[in-house]
Structure 1
Amino acid sequence: MSAMRYVSCHASIGATAIMLAGCVSAPAGPTMPDVPVQGTYLSEAADLSLELEWWKQFGDPVLDSLIAQSLSANKSLDQAAANVRVAEAIASGARLDRSYSASTSFDGDVGRSAQPGQDVRASIQGALGASWEYDAFGRIEAQIAAAEFDVEAARQARRDVAVIVASETALNYVQLRGAQRRLAVARKNADTQSEGLDLLQTLLDNGRAARLDMERAEAQYRTTLASLPRYEAAIESAKSALAALTGQPANSRSSLVMELVTSADDIPEHRGAIMAGSVEDLVRRRPDIRSAEVVIARQLALGDAARADLFPTITVNANVLALFDDANDIGDLTSFGFGVGPSISWAWPDLRRVRANIDATDARTDAAIAQYEQTVLNALSEVESALSEYTNELKRRDDLKRAAASAQRAIELARLRFEEGLDDYLDVLEAQRTLLTAEDQLAESRLQSSSRAIAAYRALGGIEMPNQYGTEPAIALE
C-alpha cells in the first residue's frame, strides 16, 4: 500500500470513528490539586536546602559506615528495588500496546478417502495474523501513563524505605552510644560509692561512723549496681537492631559490629542548624507526599482511559492464510490468501456501565486527592513537632550540663566537709546521688537531642539514594 493510500485510509478510519462518537460526550473529571498551604515557611527557616547525607552532620565515621552499609545491604531496600523492576517491566509491556500484536497458527491433518484405491493425503494449514489498535481517543496512552506512574510510585516507595532505613540505623546507633555512656556513668559512680563504703567501714571499725550511714551507703551502692543490667541489655538490643538493618544476623561477628561492641565512643551530637525550607520544598522532598501525588496522577490517567471507553475502539487487522493439500501444492500461489481491514467495537448499547465505571474512577481520584492533602498536613505537623522537640531538648541539655557541673562541685565540697568533721556522711551520700542523677540525665538528654535531630531529618524526608538503586529522575506530574 502506498504512503498516500495509507494516510487516506488512516484518515477515513479516524473520520468514521468521530462520526460514530459524535453524539457521545465525556464528562469532565477531577484535576491535580495545588499544595494545601503554599508559601508557608517551616519554623522560619530561610535556607531552602537540606543536606541529603544528613548523618554526616554528626561527624561520626562509624555512623557514616553503618548507614552506607545499611543502604547497600538492607533486605527491605532490596525488596523495594525489586518492586521497582516489576513496575518497570509492566510499564514496558504496556508500551508495546502502541505497536501491533501478531499471532501464528499451524494445523495438520492426515487421512484416507473412504473409496478404495485412494492414497493417504496430508493437509497443512498455516495462518499469520497481525492487529494494530488505532488509539483515536487516547485509551492506550492513558493506560501507558498509568503504568509509568506505577513505576514512579515504586521509586518513591523505595526512597521512603531508604529514609526509614537510614534514620533507624542512625537512631539505633545513637541509642547504643547513649546506653554505653549511661553504663559508663553508672559504673564510675558505683566505683566511687564502693570506695566510700570502704572508707565508711574503716571509720565504723574505729568508732568514727554510725551503722546507719553504712547501711545507707550500701543501699545506694546496690541500687546503682542494679541499673547496670538495664544499660547492658539496651546495648545488646541496639547492636542486634543494627545488625539486622545492615543485612547481617543478630549474632554477627563482622568487623563493624565487633567495633561497636568493643568500643564505647561518646554519643554523636548534631552540629549546626537544621534547615527545613518551604512547604513546596517539603512536598518535592518527602517520598510519601510524592507517592500520594503520583497516586492522583495515576488515577487521572485511569480516568482518561475510562472516558475513552465511551468511544469506539478501532483495530486494523491483517491475516495471511495458506493451505497445502500435499507437498506438491507448496509452490502453488493459489493456495495462499490474505485479508486486510478495520474492525470497530463499541459499548454504545451499554454506555451506562461505562459511565458507572467513570464515576467510580473519579471517586477513587477524589479519595486520592483527599489522602494527598492529608499527607501534606501530617507531614507539616511532623516537621513542626520534630523541630520544636529538637530545639527544646537542646535547651534542656544545656541546663543539665550546668547542673552536672554544679553537682560535681557539690560532692567535692561535701567530701571535704566530711573529712574535716563538719558534716556527717549523709551529705556525701546525697551529693553522690545528685551527681549520679545529673550525669545520667545529661547522658539521656544528649541521646534525646541526637534522636530528635534524626527524627527531624526523617520528617523532612531527604536522602541520597545509592547508585545501585538507580538515580532515575521523577516523571513530571504537572
Structure 2
Amino acid sequence: MKCAARIAATALTTTLLTGCTLGPDFRRPDVIAPTHYGQEPQDVAGGTYGGPVDIAWWKLFHDDELNRLIDRLAVQNIDLQRGMQRIEEARSQTRIAAAQGLPNMNWAGSYTRTHQSSTGFISLVQPRSGAPNEYDFFQNTLGASWDLDLFGQIRRAVEAQHATQEAAIEARHGLALSTLATLVNSYMQLRGVQDQIAITERHLSVSDHDVSLVEARFGNGAATTLDLAQARTEQANTASTLPNLRNAESALINAIGLLLDEPPRSLAIELARHEGSMPIVVPAAPIGLPSSLARRRPDIREAEARLHVATAGVGVAIAAFYPDITLTGQMGTQTLSAANFFSLPSRQFATGPTLSVPLFEGGRLRGTLALRKAEQKDAALAFHQTVMTAWNEVDNALTAYAQAQKRLVQTEIAWQESRKAVSIAQQQYREGAVDFLQVDTAESAALEAEANFSANRIQIATSFVSLYRALGGGWEYAAFTEKNAPTGSN
C-alpha cells in the first residue's frame, strides 16, 4: 500500500491535502520456468533449436499462396475486426473512468413564465399592492465540481481499466494466433486432401487399365470370372473414395474463405491443386527458451492483465470504506427581468466542499471487499494454470512434431516397396504365374502406403503449426491494425 489502511487522527490534515492510494500495488507474478524444453527431435529432417522464435514462421514453408492468404487475413477476418472493437470499447471505458478524477464544469440557462394561482399558496399571504400574479424568471448558472479522490478509489478504478484495456489487446493477440493457426492448418489439410485425390485418381487409372487387361484375357480364356470380379471390385472401391475426398476439399476451401470473409466457392480456382503445392518439411525450427514463453504467449499476458484488474479492484473496495470530499461551486445570475440579466445585483453564487462518510451500508462494503479479494485469488490461480498449460502444450507439440517426422521415413519406405510389389505382381499376372488376387492385393497395399506417406507429410506440417501456436509466435502479423486504429481523446 502507498499509505496505511488506518490513518491516525493527527495525520488527517496531511492526508486531506495530499491524498493516498489504498490497496495492494500490482506486481508482475514470478514465473519459475524450466531451464530447457524436453528432448529435441533427433535424427529427423526438421529439428529444433533454441534461437528466437520466428514471428513469421509460416514463411518457412516457402508457399507464396499461403503467404498471400495470411496477408489478407489481418484485414479481412471478422473475428479480428470484432477483437479490435473490444479494444476500442476498453479504451473508451478507460477514458470514462479517468474523467471521474478530473474537474468538470457545466453551464445551464433557463427561462420560465409563471402564473400564480390566486387560490393557491399565494392566498395565504398579503401580496404587495400592484404585485402581478404572472411574471418571468431568468436564470444563468455556471457549475463546477471536483472529487478530490483522497484515498485513491478513482485512481484504482482507472488502473483497473488500463489493465482491462491491456487484457483486451492480449485477447486479440490470442485470437490472431488462433485464427492464423486455423488458417494454416486448414490450408495444409486442403493440400493433403488434394494430394489424396491425385493419388486416388492415379490408382483409378491403373484400376481401369487392369479391368481392360482382365477383360481382354477373359475373352481369350486366359482369365477367370473371379479375376474379372476382383478387378472390377478394385476399380469400384477406388472410385468410391473420390466423392468423400472432393467433399472434404470443398469444405476446406469454404473454411478458408470464411476466415477471409469470402463467400462460398469464391476461392476454388485460387486454391486449386498445382504441382509443388504439397508443403515441404521445415529444415529447422527455432523454438526460443522456456524463460521467454510467458512474455510471448498472449494468453499468459492476458491472464496477467486480468490479475492486475482484480488487484486494483481490491484497492477500489478498500477505498470505499473511507470518506470522500468533493469541491463544488456555482455562480450565475437570477432576475425577473431580461434587462437585468447581466447586471451586478442579479449575481448569485455558492461554493464549498461536500463530505461523504459511509456510516451504515448493511454489510455491502465488507461483502464487496471479500468478493474482490476472492476474485484476486481466483485470478492468481488462473494465471498459474495458464502458465502450466502453456508448458504442457509446448512439450506435447514438440513430441508430436518429432514423432511425426520419425514416422515419415518408414511410410516412405513402405510406399516405395509397395510400388515394386505392384510392378512385380502385374508382370507375373501377364505371364500367367499368379492370379489377379495377387495384383489386387499389391495395388490396394500400394494405394494405402502412398496415402499414408502423403498424410504423414501433412501431419508433420500441422504438428509444426501446433508447435508454433503453443510457443505463442506469429500473432504480430495482425498487430499493425491496432497501431493504425483511432484512439480518440475527447
Is the partner of 2:477 in helix, strand or coil? coil
Is the partner of 1:194 in helix, strand or coil? helix
Deviation at 1:226, TM superposition (A): 0.7
After superposition, the Cα gap between the structure-2 partners of 1:26 and 1:148, relative to the gap in structure 1 and judged at 3 Å, is closer
Deviation at 1:76, TM superposition (A): 0.9
TM-score, scaled relative to structure 2: 0.86
Specify the alignment match of 2:3 in structure 1: none
Specify the alignment match of 1:476 in structure 2: none
Kindly indicate whether residue 472 of structure 2 is the aligned counterpart of residue 461 of structure 1: yes
Moved more, 356-365 or 411-420: 411-420
Q: Indicate if the aligned counterparts of 1:46 and 1:277 stay in contact, CA closer than 8 A.
A: yes
After superposition, the Cα gap between the structure-2 partners of 1:193 and 1:268, relative to the gap in structure 1 and judged at 3 Å, is same
Q: Indicate if the aligned counterparts of 2:184 and 2:465 stay in contact, CA closer than 8 A.
A: yes
In structure 2, what is the Cα distance between the partners aligned to 1:26 and 1:245?
46
Moved more, 286-295 or 256-265: 256-265
Equivalent runs, 1:360-379 vs 2, <5 Å = 360-379=371-390
Q: Indicate if the aligned counterparts of 2:281 and 2:461 stay in contact, CA closer than 8 A.
A: yes
Kindly indicate whether residue 108 of structure 2 is the aligned counterpart of residue 105 of structure 1: yes
Deviation at 1:234, TM superposition (A): 0.7
Specify the alignment match of 1:145 in structure 2: 159
The aligned length equals 454
TM-score, scaled relative to structure 1: 0.88
Specify the alignment match of 2:69 in structure 1: 66
Q: Indicate if the aligned counterparts of 1:30 and 1:362 stay in contact, CA closer than 8 A.
A: no
After superposition, the Cα gap between the structure-2 partners of 1:351 and 1:133, relative to the gap in structure 1 and judged at 3 Å, is farther
Is the partner of 2:146 in helix, strand or coil? strand
Alignment partner of 2:173 out of 125, 148, 159:
159
Is the partner of 1:470 in helix, strand or coil? helix
Equivalent runs, 1:29-428 vs 2, <5 Å = 32-35=28-31, 37-43=32-38, 47-111=50-114, 118=131, 121-252=135-266, 256-261=267-272, 263=274, 265-350=276-361, 352-428=363-439
Letter in 2 for 1:171: N
Letter in 2 for 1:345: S
Q: Indicate if the aligned counterparts of 1:240 and 1:251 stay in contact, CA closer than 8 A.
A: yes
In structure 1, what is the Cα distance between the partners aligned to 2:360 and 2:229?
95
Letter in 1 for 2:477: M
Q: Indicate if the aligned counterparts of 2:170 and 2:298 stay in contact, CA closer than 8 A.
A: yes
Moved more, 371-380 or 73-82: 371-380
Letter in 1 for 2:201: R
In structure 2, what is the Cα distance between the partners aligned to 1:194 and 1:452?
37
Q: Indicate if the aligned counterparts of 2:111 and 2:136 stay in contact, CA closer than 8 A.
A: yes
Is the partner of 1:43 in helix, strand or coil? coil
Deviation at 1:395, TM superposition (A): 1.1
After superposition, the Cα gap between the structure-2 partners of 1:112 and 1:72, relative to the gap in structure 1 and judged at 3 Å, is closer
Specify the alignment match of 1:449 in structure 2: 460
In structure 2, what is the Cα distance between the partners aligned to 1:351 and 1:28?
25
> What root-mean-square deviation, in Å, do the aligned CA atoms of Structure 1 and Structure 2 show?
2.7
Is the partner of 1:378 in helix, strand or coil? helix
After superposition, the Cα gap between the structure-2 partners of 1:51 and 1:27, relative to the gap in structure 1 and judged at 3 Å, is closer
Is the partner of 1:123 in helix, strand or coil? strand
Identity of aligned residues (%): 27
Deviation at 1:351, TM superposition (A): 8.8
In structure 1, what is the Cα distance between the partners aligned to 2:81 and 2:92?
17
In structure 1, what is the Cα distance between the partners aligned to 2:114 and 2:426?
116
After superposition, the Cα gap between the structure-2 partners of 1:40 and 1:264, relative to the gap in structure 1 and judged at 3 Å, is same
Letter in 1 for 2:371: A
Alignment partner of 1:470 out of 471, 477, 482:
482
Give the structure with the higher percent helix.
Answer: 1
Deviation at 1:132, TM superposition (A): 0.9
Deviation at 1:18, TM superposition (A): 3.8
Specify the alignment match of 2:5 in structure 1: none
In structure 2, what is the Cα distance between the partners aligned to 1:358 and 1:31?
20
In structure 2, what is the Cα distance between the partners aligned to 1:28 and 1:95?
20
Letter in 2 for 1:389: A
In structure 2, what is the Cα distance between the partners aligned to 1:46 and 1:268?
21
In structure 2, what is the Cα distance between the partners aligned to 1:27 and 1:169?
44
Q: Indicate if the aligned counterparts of 1:106 and 1:127 stay in contact, CA closer than 8 A.
A: yes
Letter in 1 for 2:102: S
In structure 1, what is the Cα distance between the partners aligned to 2:51 and 2:373?
35
In structure 1, what is the Cα distance between the partners aligned to 2:115 and 2:362?
53
In structure 2, what is the Cα distance between the partners aligned to 1:144 and 1:447?
49
In structure 1, what is the Cα distance between the partners aligned to 2:153 and 2:238?
72
In structure 2, what is the Cα distance between the partners aligned to 1:247 and 1:396?
37
Deviations 1:97-138 (A, max 9, x none): 231122333332324676785565322122221111112222
Letter in 2 for 1:61: D
Deviation at 1:291, TM superposition (A): 0.9
Deviations 1:271-322 (A, max 9, x none): 1333333333221111111111110001111111111112211211121132
